[in-house]
Amino acid sequence: MTSPRQDLVPPGPRIPLSALLALPDLGLRQVAGPRAAEQDVRVQWVHTSEMEDPVPYLLGGELLLTAGVHFTAAAGTGAYLDRYVGRTVEAGAAALGFGLAPVHDETPAALIEACDRHGLPLVEVPPHTPFTAVARAVWQAMGEARNRELRHVTEAQQALAAAAARPDPVPAVLRGLARRLGAWAALVAPDGTEVHAAGTAPDAGIREAAHRLARVVGPAASARPPSSATDTLGGTRLSAYGLAGGGQDGRPALVLACPHPDPADHSVANVAAVLLSLLTGPHLGTAEAARSAALVRLLLGAAAEEVAPLLGPDGPWIVVHALRRGAPGDLPAAAALGAALGTALLETGDEAVRLLLPADREVVPQPGWTLGVSAPVPAAALADGDRQAAGAARRAVAGRRALVRHRGGGSGMAGLVAPDDARARALEVLTPIAGSPALVETLRTWIGLHGSWDRTSVALGVHRNTVRQRIGRAAAALDVDPDDPDVRMELWFALRWL
C-alpha cells in the first residue's frame, strides 16, 4: 500500500480506525476486510467521493466515504465493484466507508466480497451519521493525539534534563530515555563499542542491525553524514542519531530499538541526542562541563544570573531569539537551528527559541527563521542580552526581515549618564505606567519603530487600533505629547533604563 505524500501530510498523527469504530456517537460498524484492531489500520484523512474512479483525487491513507450513487448505474455487479475496490487499494486508501440511505438500504454483498478479497476494511455508516460527522471526529482525534504528543515530549524533556544533572549523567539519560520510550537505548563509540546501554536488551539480530545503523550516522562530521537514520526489523523500529563532536575516526551515536514506536519518539530522542552531545563531547574539560551544566540549568528553568557563573568569565556572549512560523517550540527544528549556528545551548519556548553563542561566532540568516541578535554581553549580563535579542526579533518581524541585530550599547550620549542616575530618572518618568507591562512594551515598540502604527501592530501581534488606544492611554497617564520629538527622546532613554 502506498504512503501519503510527505509534503501534504496534515499536522497531526494518524488515527487508528479501531478508535473511530469505538465512538458510540458515530455508530460505525466494520463489515468486511481485515479487522482494524488486529491490523493497526490508521487513517490520515477523510475524503468523500461519488466518482466511479476516485483514484486521481486520493493521496493515500484516506477513509474514503461513499453512498454508492454510481453503484446503481452499474447495477452493483461484482466485476464493477471488484474493479472499484481494487483501484481504491492501489491508491493507498486506508479503508472504505459505505453510507446507508438514501441510495442503498444495505451494503451490497458484492462490495463486501470485493473488500474481503482485496483486504480493504469496509465500514458501514448508519443513516443517522452524516459524513461530515465522521470527518470532524477524525480531525478532533488528531488534535487530541497531537496534544498528547506535546505533553509527552515536554515531560520527557524535563525528565531527561533532570537526569543529565545527576552525578552519572550519561547512563542516567540513557535509562530515562529507555524508560520513556519503552525501548533499548545505547551509546555507541565511533569504533562500534557500546559505551553505555539501558533497557531490555534485544536479540542479537536486532542489536547487530542497530550497530549497522550507527555506522551510517557515525562518520566524521567532515564527511557530512546524515544526522539520523531509521530502519525496521521484525516489527521493531531502529533509530540512530549522530552526536556532535568526534574526530577523524568518526563520531559517537545514540541507537534505539523500539518494539512499540510512538510518533513522538523522534522528538524525545532528539532532546536526548542534544544532551548526550554535550555530555560526551571530545576532550570535555572543566569549562565545557560547566557550560553543559549551564544548559541543563536553563532547561530546568534557572534564571540567567544563576547560570552566568557556570559559563565562566571568558565571554562575551551573544543571545539569539529565533522565531519560526507555525511551530516555534518544535524541538527537532530547534536542534537543527542550533547545529547550523554552532551551538547546543538552546531553549525552546512558546514563542521563540533562545540560543546562546560565543560572541566571536558569526550569526547569519537561516531559512524559515526570523532572528534577533543581541550585542555581545558578559556572562553576568545575559539577562540584558536576552532583552536585546527579544527586541531585535520584534523589529525583524515588524520589518519582515530575516535577521536584525541589536543597535546601540553603552557608548554615545547614553554612556555619559551614570547607570544609577539613569535608572532613577527612568523610574521617575515612567512611574505612572510602570505597573502596566502592556503599555510599557507598546510604547517601547512604537517609539523604536519610529511611531509606525502598522509595524508596531505586526511586532506585537495586536490590531493597530489597540496600539493607538494603548499609546493614547500611556500619553494621558504620563501627561506628555508623544508626537513631540524631545518627549520621544526622553521616553526612549527612560524605557531603555527601566
How far, rounded to the nearest angstrom, does the alpha carbon of residue 158 sit from its chain's CA centroid?
A: 16
Residue 158 lies in a domain: no
Residue 391, pLDDT score = 84
> Looking at the 3D structure of the chain, how many domains does it have?
4
Q: Residue 353 phi/psi, 5° resolution?
A: -100, 130
Residue 1, pLDDT score = 43
Give the span between the Cα atoms of 184 and 186, in whole angstroms: 7
Residue 387, pLDDT score = 86
pLDDT along the chain (498 residues), means of 10: 46 79 92 77 88 84 90 68 91 92 87 93 94 91 81 82 78 90 89 86 89 81 71 87 69 88 80 81 46 58 63 72 66 66 74 82 82 85 84 84 76 55 78 88 87 86 89 90 85 79
Residue 195, pLDDT score = 83
Provide the edge-to-edge strand list for the sheet that holds 346-348: 346-348, 353-358, 317-323, 370-373, 403-405
Residues 272 and 317 in one domain: no
Residues 81 and 18 in one domain: yes
Residues 370 and 481 in one domain: no
Give the span between the Cα atoms of 80 and 100, in whole angstroms: 19
Mapping DSSP to helix (H, G, I), strand (E, B) and coil, where does residue 113 land?
helix
Residues 389 and 438 in one domain: no
Give the span between the Cα atoms of 41 and 17, in whole angstroms: 6
Give the global pTM: 0.44
109: domain CATH number is 3.40.1390.20
Residues 201 and 274 in one domain: yes
Residue 148 lies in a domain: no
Residue 96, pLDDT score = 94
Residues 249 and 363 in one domain: no
Residue 259 lies in a domain: yes
Residue 64, pLDDT score = 93
Nearest by Cα to 477 from 445, 430, 441: 430
- For the chain, the first-to-last Cα distance in angstroms comes to 62
Residues 221 and 242 in one domain: yes
Of 107, 142, 177, which closes a domain?
Answer: 142
Residue 161 lies in a domain: no
Residue 148, pLDDT score = 79
Residues 172 and 237 in one domain: yes
Q: Give the domain extent around 485.
A: 413-497
Residues 349 and 393 in one domain: yes
Residues 23 and 110 in one domain: yes
Residue 254 lies in a domain: yes
| CB-count exposure of residue 193 (10 Å: 0-12, 13-18, 19+) | exposed
Q: Residue 224 phi/psi, 5° resolution?
A: 55, 55
Residues 50 and 72 in one domain: yes
How far, rounded to the nearest angstrom, does the alpha carbon of residue 408 sit from its chain's CA centroid?
A: 33
Would you say the C-alpha torsion 46, 48, 53, 56 has a positive or negative sign?
Answer: negative
203: domain CATH number is 3.30.450.30
Give the span between the Cα atoms of 407 and 416, in whole angstroms: 17
Residue 134, pLDDT score = 93
Other Cβ atoms less than 10 A from the Cβ of 371: the count is: 26
Residue 285 lies in a domain: no
Residues 333 and 362 in one domain: yes
Mapping DSSP to helix (H, G, I), strand (E, B) and coil, where does residue 1 land?
coil
